[in-house]
Structure 1
Amino acid sequence: MASASYDPHLGAGPSDDSVILLDDDSDSGSLLSDDSVLPDYERDEKHTEPAKSLYEACARNEPASLRRIMERGVTKEEANELDINGRNGLMLAVGKGFIDIVTMLHVCPLIDINHQDNDGNTALMIAAQAGFVTILNYILNFYSGVDTEVRDPRGFTALIKAGLQSREECVSALLMHGADMNAMDLVHGRGLKDWILRTGGFDTLYRIRRLQAQSVAEQFCDSYIPEWPELKQLVAKATAVKTTSQKLRQCIKDSLSFNFPHDPEDNGVLDHMVRMTTGIHSPLIATGCRPLCPSSPPEVGKPRFSVPELLEKHSSIELEEKAVNTVGNDSGSRKGIPALTHRLIDVSTAHSAGNI
């Protein structure tokens, strides 16, 4: 078997003693592993009455019933009611992709976000291996105390499970939230990249390589460049006077060239478009809020706080005053712009306690 050459970002390929990539004793014998097949909760009968418990509302995907139940109040036992597989209502809603239910349950402090079912899965693991990146990001950003390093009996974390299922978006979200890329499973002692290589998730490996090549995200809170830096050079080159031979070569090149789809180039016009539509000084932004940590952008492997955890460390009044001062004092901004509270907080820039 040909082994992959060493790459500083991807690491070494599979070991030479791996004669067969997917051998019988491997947990990756099938991409659809046993614990990734969620039980069938669908019911043929139609319910004529609204749900009476939190679990029933989650199972039926009834946001109105869930809102009514939470308004009247729930006990700890009701909030953590389990089915025969050891899953609570939140885990069931995550597995079925009920986004409305997941977004409502984060205000219930009685739910154990790190609860493990009979297979050792948490709500975060279920979202990661199912590829529900929207739900995954919501759990990471709006649920307090999420532990990304919880392991199932085999030692798989949510990050490894996402890699096994080739969920590259979920892998990226977990890495940018501080998940440990170097965690090893407890059975075979393999890490994330080794498991991805063994399951053929080359697109996921490419995404990890891109993240490692630029591990720190860019923030444009303090700067805004309205013009693409390479624009002047390209315009000058296009408008320059060409000789007859240059025109002939360009004509031949255009007639013989083929256009194939390709990824956007780094620092190209698409990247600049993102910058000019997200910069705080951009005229396309009507109302904005400066991040709490403008000098500490998101970074691979760097833990971050969720919104409720930020609000515990900083009062709403403090956040509002900071937002008003920073937005009002920026050049090109109108003073007195009303600041929103946690809805406008850039949670992607909040990190460990030492950076707040």
Structure 2
Amino acid sequence: MVACYKGFLEIVQHLHHCPYLDINHQDNDGNTALMIASQAGHTITVTYILNYYPGADTEIRDCRGFTALIKAAMQGRDDVVSSLVMAGADLNAVDTTKQKCARDWALKTGRYETLNRLRRLNLRPRAEQFAESYVPEWPELKVLVAKAMVNKSASQKITQRIKSTFGFNFPRDPQENGVLDHMVRITTSIHSPLVATGCRPLCPTSPPEVGKRRLAVPELVKKHSEKELGESSVCHSNGSISSIIPNIHSAETIATSCCVDTERRGSIISIASTGVRTFIPRHMAHRNSVFPSGCIPKIQIVKSGEPTPKKEKKRKKHKGHLEPPIWKYKAEKQEKKKAEKEKEKSKKEKKEKKQK
């Protein structure tokens, strides 16, 4: 609870391996670790609890009847609200005192961005799963091209020319589900040609959905066999990507064959013996993502033989070229500096005359 309140993610990750930990334990006010992290706005901690603690209950209430979702909505934690809703938290759950749900509390506390996020989640309650069957083409492109290619009459052409010449194009916000949203989806999708690495979803036919409980990683491990998990994940070896996870012996052989020096050899994950390597977060895995074979190369710093580039001299002003304007306050400053310099010069000259 203290780690969730302070945002100590590493402690939350290490406590995941403790067999005697009760993730749904409540304090004197009825708060759980998930409630505390949700109210504090630690999004990564909340998602880690939802993904790696199988018994985490999102519908536990405190002494006032508030759930983790209601507390996050009251504090305006938009990302936490999205994580809880997509993990299966009940949007219609109300508190025991005032009988208000998360939307009502967000409206009462003035969290309009949270209301907008909930509205957008309701409009698209199911996450889009970018599987191998996904076609990376904007669906509205064909309709727009067909409209543009239709033969127009003379009157339609004249009206279009008049509109284009006398019309005003004001800046507008990008359209929802428009070409910009589609470009973002393409560049960040799992099987995108622009993304070098990715993972294959275990359940491509049932993506995350609003109101549907999402299984945690330990529950997925119990549900699916090691062979199925190995086929649906991506591993790296010798700079290439393959879809089979090597066991711990093969990883050791790669590391030993790559580098003889034991000090430079990266440590292999001890948890990989279970066969589920891709479920471990990348920052928890004691390996290098750039050099996945386990060998850390030596880096030599060599001074370049080329001389350091000299600063370019200021070019002379040309009469025909435009120059930036001198502002009034800058001109006054320059005049003051010139006057002060002239006074100092006159004082020095007077002193020299007196000495002579």
TM-score w.r.t. the length of structure 2 is: 0.60
CA shift digits 1:174-214 (9 cap, x unpaired) = 11101111212122222222222221222212211111121
Q: Does 1:337 align with 2:247?
A: no
8 Å contact kept, 1:287–1:337: no
1:259 matched to which residue of 2? 171
Post-superposition shift, 1:239?
A: 9.1
Unpaired segments ≥5 residues, structure 2: 235-239, 247-274, 282-356
State the number of aligned residues: 244
Post-superposition shift, 1:307?
A: 0.9
8 Å contact kept, 2:231–2:243: no
Mapping of 1:137-286 within 5 angstroms?
Answer: 137-231=47-141, 234=144, 243=157, 246-254=160-168, 257-260=169-172, 262=173, 264-286=174-196
Post-superposition shift, 1:300?
A: 0.5
Q: Secondary structure at the match of 1:121?
A: coil
1:289 matched to which residue of 2? 199
**Cα distance in structure 2, aligned partners of 1:219 and 1:344:** 18
Task: Identify if the C-alpha distance between structure 1 residues 346 and 277 changes in structure 2 by more than 3 Å, giving closer, same or farther.
Answer: farther
Task: Identify if the C-alpha distance between structure 1 residues 244 and 135 changes in structure 2 by more than 3 Å, giving closer, same or farther.
Answer: same
Mapping of 1:26-175 within 5 angstroms?
Answer: 91-175=1-85
CA shift digits 1:46-83 (9 cap, x unpaired) = xxxxxxxxxxxxxxxxxxxxxxxxxxxxxxxxxxxxxx
Task: Identify if the C-alpha distance between structure 1 residues 184 and 244 changes in structure 2 by more than 3 Å, giving closer, same or farther.
Answer: closer
CA shift digits 1:253-277 (9 cap, x unpaired) = 24xx4325x2x42321233224323
Aligned residue identity for 1:251: T
1:17 matched to which residue of 2? none
Task: Identify if the C-alpha distance between structure 1 residues 244 and 339 changes in structure 2 by more than 3 Å, giving closer, same or farther.
Answer: farther
8 Å contact kept, 2:232–2:243: no
Task: Identify if the C-alpha distance between structure 1 residues 192 and 227 changes in structure 2 by more than 3 Å, giving closer, same or farther.
Answer: closer
**Cα distance in structure 1, aligned partners of 2:137 and 2:101:** 43
| Structure with higher RCO (Cα < 8 A, 6+ apart) | 1
Post-superposition shift, 1:148?
A: 0.6
8 Å contact kept, 2:201–2:232: no
**Cα distance in structure 2, aligned partners of 1:227 and 1:157:** 41
Post-superposition shift, 1:167?
A: 1.4
Mean CA deviation greater in 281-290 or 153-162: 281-290
**Cα distance in structure 2, aligned partners of 1:276 and 1:344:** 23
RMSD: 3.1
Q: Which has the larger radius of gyration?
A: 2
**Cα distance in structure 2, aligned partners of 1:217 and 1:251:** 42
Unpaired segments ≥5 residues, structure 1: 1-90, 325-333, 348-356
TM-score w.r.t. the length of structure 1 is: 0.60
CA shift digits 1:285-322 (9 cap, x unpaired) = 44443322111111111011111221122343431135
Post-superposition shift, 1:346?
A: 12
8 Å contact kept, 1:150–1:157: yes
Post-superposition shift, 1:244?
A: 6.2
Task: Identify if the C-alpha distance between structure 1 residues 104 and 258 changes in structure 2 by more than 3 Å, giving closer, same or farther.
Answer: same
**Cα distance in structure 2, aligned partners of 1:279 and 1:177:** 20
Post-superposition shift, 1:137?
A: 0.8
Post-superposition shift, 1:217?
A: 1.2
Post-superposition shift, 1:233?
A: 5.3
**Cα distance in structure 2, aligned partners of 1:118 and 1:243:** 74
**Cα distance in structure 1, aligned partners of 2:191 and 2:91:** 35
CA shift digits 1:148-172 (9 cap, x unpaired) = 1111111111011111112122111
2:218 matched to which residue of 1? 308
Post-superposition shift, 1:335?
A: 9.6
